[in-house]
Amino acid sequence: MRSELIIAAVAALTFLSCQPSKEAAKPPVRLGPDVERLAGEILAPMANPVALQITRGGNGETMGEEAQALVDLIARISPNVSMNRLDIATHPDGVDLGVSHGPVIEMKGKAPGILRYYGYPERKETRPFLEGILSASGHQVNLAPEVASYISELDKEVLIRIFTTPD
């Protein structure tokens, strides 16, 4: 009789642990009106199309849903922005980025090369991210004369990496 009670208890615990989680679904990401206003303001002069590609997934992804919401907002606001999504786990091009997790946002437009943003551009990173999209469209950026001169003298392609730290 005692062994029957133990078997019944184990069966009950096993059954309960196999039940679907009762966790509430996450609410959708909502970006504030300031982000929408800023995106509209910065992207307004964009005359040429830009394709954004967001690559998501992988172990260690953080802020992927927020990055997706931002890219969706930008594509909705600007008629010159198109958007594509890749998943690292299911699409071979995701692996070609050389990263183990997303989000990674690529910007391709009239400007030569590809701009890539790794992570989610939040707070003080939002403006430079949006300006990167504008630059990818071929929009001329106002650079300091010494920077413009230096860039014009480059005779080969270069890889520029900019690292930021949280506020």
> pLDDT of 39-52, one tens digit each?
999 999 999 999 99
**Is pLDDT above 80 for 56?**
yes
Among candidates 89, 130, 133, which has minimal Cα distance to 114?
A: 133
Place of tokens 């199309």: 49
Q: How far apart are CA 92 and CA 51, in angstroms?
A: 19
- Domain assignment present for residue 41? The answer is yes
Q: What is the CA radius of gyration of the chain?
A: 23
Give the torsion sign (CA, 14, 18, 21, 22).
negative
Give the three-class secondary structure for 148: helix
- Domain assignment present for residue 53? The answer is yes
- Under a CB-based contact definition with an 8 Å cutoff, are residues 38 and 57 in contact? no
Number of domains in the chain: 1
- Domain assignment present for residue 22? The answer is no
- Domain assignment present for residue 89? The answer is yes
More confident residue, 7 or 103: 103
What domain range includes position 101? 28-152
CATH number of domain containing 119 = 3.40.30.10
- Domain assignment present for residue 70? The answer is yes
**Is pLDDT above 90 for 78?**
yes
- Domain assignment present for residue 110? The answer is yes
- Domain assignment present for residue 8? The answer is no
- Domain assignment present for residue 17? The answer is no
